[in-house]
Amino acid sequence: MRAALSMPGFTPEHPRSSADGVDAEDAIDVALMRATAQGDEQAFRQLIQRHQQSVVGTVARMLNDATEAEDIAQMVFVKIWQTAPKWTHDAKFTTYLFTIMRNMVFNESRRRGRKKEVSYDAQEATHPALNRADEALQPAERLEKSERHRTIDRAIAALPEQQRLAVVLRTFESLDYEEIASALGTSVSSVKSLLFRARANLRESLAEEL
């Protein structure tokens, strides 16, 4: 659950409901980002609390490396802080956030020159909701589910960068095509094409293992 917005010295405008045609969550993010642009550290901490888990989880899946995901996520939020004074509300805040994350992840992937695998135990640490859901499973079921997740994560990690990020943002972050297109710096039709090719690649790579 996202953190409450009660904080001394900062009270965002009450967001209009989705019935008014306004994304309430984005309205909160925009208010926080505008306060951050004025140097409000409390507002900035609230932004981190609201989005840190999504950024860490996305980076972990993109790099197939949970051990460095938090470091990359920290760099993403440092960039948010640095660029806040120049930020303009041209799109959803999350689109801006994932665009910065995309650039850092792609730069890191190219720096490495190869994909680095880590144990699935480390990957699961970035997904506490999955861990809580698994607590009700029997040991054998939990092991089978973990192996299945590990196989899927390896298949996703093997996708080309653009396909991989499109799949992660669509499947795990539930972004719509327009948001993904903005984050990737491409068109909606290109996003649909990327997802089509990615799903075909995943079906082929997972056909034998699953």
Residue 125 included in any domain: yes
Model confidence pLDDT, tens digit, residues 20-76: 445 899 999 999 999 999 999 999 999 999 999 999 999 998 888 888 899 999 999
**Domain boundaries, position 117:** 23-206
Query: Nearest-5° angle of CA 209, CA 62, CA 50?
Result: 120
State the virtual CA torsion across 37, 40, 45, 51 in degrees, nearest 10: -30
Which SS3 state, helix, strand or coil, does residue 208 take?
coil
Q: Report d(CA 33, CA 37) in Å as an integer.
A: 6
Q: Report d(CA 124, CA 16) in Å as an integer.
A: 36
* pTM confidence score: 0.72
Model confidence pLDDT, tens digit, residues 144-157: 777 887 888 888 88
What's the number of domains the chain is made of?
1
Q: Which of 133, 164, 160 is nearest to 146 (CA)?
A: 133
- The encoded tokens of residue 155 equal 């298949």
CATH number for the domain including 119? 1.10.1740.10
Residue 132 included in any domain: yes
